[in-house]
């Protein structure tokens, strides 16, 4: 079929009638499918069930240093957990604080601490006249929700195939002292699956912010989430690059095992400079006597080391890869020649980013929902839920079965075609 924009009005009207007939046929099937969030499937959760067997009432619950993990103490995490997440994060264990199950919780706490008590002795953000954050777009909706919750003004920064537009980042950060941070998902980004280039990482490390309390919020959520053994992205380690650039305090690096073991009961951490760690511990000594060390020990004994994590992630990939390929192959087959959408084939992560014709995303998502398939809300990948082009849609293939995903993707493609025809007829 020729590109839609090359069709006459009569051809578009004929196509619209055909698409509407197919759409109504799907509607009567009464589907109930969910592709709205990056939620692991039951099959993925099952591969971690062995973790439930490594600890029981008869085993020794002391760590390698003799710490009784049942009791109080060890504020920043047991040594073995710091070593394990240090390997995963590619940083020294002495640069890490271990938290509870959610890195999002750690990010929220980090913003909250800056708001109420400032960063390393600087004026609390809540006492400064204006606070702004840079937001690479499309991006992670829960990041944007945190900054919006605290009343922080968010500024869009376009993503490129190399990462955020660094010319714009450098210009804004160096010229406006109200800009205090930037959200980053540097590897297999949410939702595009882009990994920042070496030069992008180095430019981040060399930033010269006007605000001394500026921080890069480096959410390395998908650091080991490859889809392929032989075709993986590589990301430079940001803390190392910041030290080389004489900028050691500029970054907070976050990661967790949330989509590695159990999302509801994983282990999260922050990695940063000694100065930042000292600042964070001041609050931590007030906030808690220590996080769940039994769960930390459980993870250590199940995974053992980074090789154990990599072996486990290959099991995840074996489940995820066919689902990604189902969606991407369908998009390629059904839409690649029509000029009504574009997408990226990621090598890892949890999402596929689809860009429809301008002004069509909300209509596509609404049509999917009306036919029984729930997608991530149009606009969710932008601050305040406002996609200026109304074009980006995040596809989350992980949760449905492969069979359900095939049905949902066929419907999605049908809705893209129908919304695009309606758009062109309305122009």
Residue that is written with structure tokens 């390698």 in the block:
64
For residues 189 and 270, give the distance between their C-alpha atoms in angstroms, rounded to a whole number: 18
CA nearest to 240, candidates 288, 207, 202: 202
| Mean pLDDT, the chain, whole residue set | 97
pTM of the model: 0.96
Question: Which CATH number is correct for 4-44+310-424, 1.10.238.10, 3.90.1150.10, 3.20.20.70, 3.30.70.1150?
Answer: 3.90.1150.10
What's the alpha-carbon Rg for the chain, to the nearest Å?
23
- DSSP-assigned letter for residue 190: T
CATH architecture, domain defined by 61-304: 3-Layer(aba) Sandwich (3.40)
- Kindly state the tokens that stand for 46: 């099952």
pLDDT tens digits for range 236-289: 999 999 999 999 999 999 999 999 999 999 999 999 999 999 999 999 999 999
Residue spans per domain, the chain: 4-44+310-424, 61-304
Instruction: Centre a 10 Å sphere on the Cβ of residue 100 and count the other Cβ atoms it contains.
Output: 17
1 — pLDDT class (breaks 50, 70, 90): confident
Residue 216 has a pLDDT of: 98
pLDDT tens digits for range 391-401: 999 999 999 99
For residues 337 and 400, give the distance between their C-alpha atoms in angstroms, rounded to a whole number: 27
97 — pLDDT class (breaks 50, 70, 90): very high
For residues 427 and 359, give the distance between their C-alpha atoms in angstroms, rounded to a whole number: 11
Contact 190, 139 (CB under 8 A): yes
Instruction: Centre a 10 Å sphere on the Cβ of residue 316 and count the other Cβ atoms it contains.
Output: 22
pLDDT tens digits for range 326-385: 999 999 999 999 999 999 999 999 999 999 999 999 999 999 999 999 999 999 999 999
Residues 6 or more apart whose CB falls under 8 angstroms from that of 294 comprise 55, 61, 69, 70
Contact 87, 98 (CB under 8 A): no
């Amino acid at each position: 079929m020729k590109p839609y924009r090359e069709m006459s009005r009569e051809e578009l009207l004929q196509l619209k009638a055909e698409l509407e007939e197919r759409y109504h046929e799907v509607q009567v099937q009464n589907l109930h499918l969910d592709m709205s969030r990056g939620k692991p499937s039951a099959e993925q959760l099952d591969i971690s069930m062995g973790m439930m067997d490594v600890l029981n009432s008869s085993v020794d619950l002391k760590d390698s240093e003799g710490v009784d993990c049942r009791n109080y103490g060890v504020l920043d995490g047991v040594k073995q957990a710091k070593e394990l997440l240090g390997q995963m994060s590619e940083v020294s264990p002495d640069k890490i604080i271990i938290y509870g199950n959610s890195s999002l919780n750690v990010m929220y706490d980090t913003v909250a601490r800056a708001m109420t008590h400032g960063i390393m002795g600087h004026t609390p953000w809540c006492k400064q006249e204006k606070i702004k954050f840079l937001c690479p777009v499309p991006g992670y909706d829960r990041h944007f929700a945190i900054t919006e919750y605290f009343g922080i003004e968010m500024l869009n920064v376009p993503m490129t195939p190399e990462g955020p537009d660094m010319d714009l980042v450098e210009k804004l950060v160096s010229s406006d002292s109200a800009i205090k941070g930037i959200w980053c998902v540097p590897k297999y980004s949410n939702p595009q699956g882009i990994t920042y280039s070496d030069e992008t990482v180095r430019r981040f490390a060399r930033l010269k912010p006007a605000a001394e309390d500026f921080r890069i919020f480096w959410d390395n959520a998908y650091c080991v989430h490859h889809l392929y053994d032989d075709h993986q992205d590589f990301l430079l380690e940001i803390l190392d690059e910041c030290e080389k650039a004489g900028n050691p305090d500029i970054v907070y690096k976050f990661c967790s095992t949330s989509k590695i073991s159990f999302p509801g009961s994983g282990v999260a951490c922050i990695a940063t400079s000694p100065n930042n760690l000292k600042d964070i511990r001041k609050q931590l000594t007030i906030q808690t006597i220590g996080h769940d060390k039994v769960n930390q020990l459980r993870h250590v004994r199940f995974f053992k080391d980074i090789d154990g994590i990599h072996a486990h992630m290959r099991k995840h990939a074996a489940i995820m890869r066919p689902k990604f390929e189902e969606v991407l192959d369908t998009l390629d087959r059904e839409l690649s020649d029509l000029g009504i959408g574009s997408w990226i084939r990621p090598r890892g992560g949890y999402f596929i980013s689809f860009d429809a014709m301008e002004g069509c995303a909300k209509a596509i998502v609404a049509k999917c929902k009306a036919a029984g398939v729930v997608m991530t809300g149009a606009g969710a990948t932008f601050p305040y839920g406002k996609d200026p082009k109304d074009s980006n849609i995040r596809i989350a293939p992980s949760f449905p079965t492969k069979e359900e995903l095939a049905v949902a993707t066929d419907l999605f493609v049908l809705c893209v075609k129908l919304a695009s025809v309606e758009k062109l007829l309305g122009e």
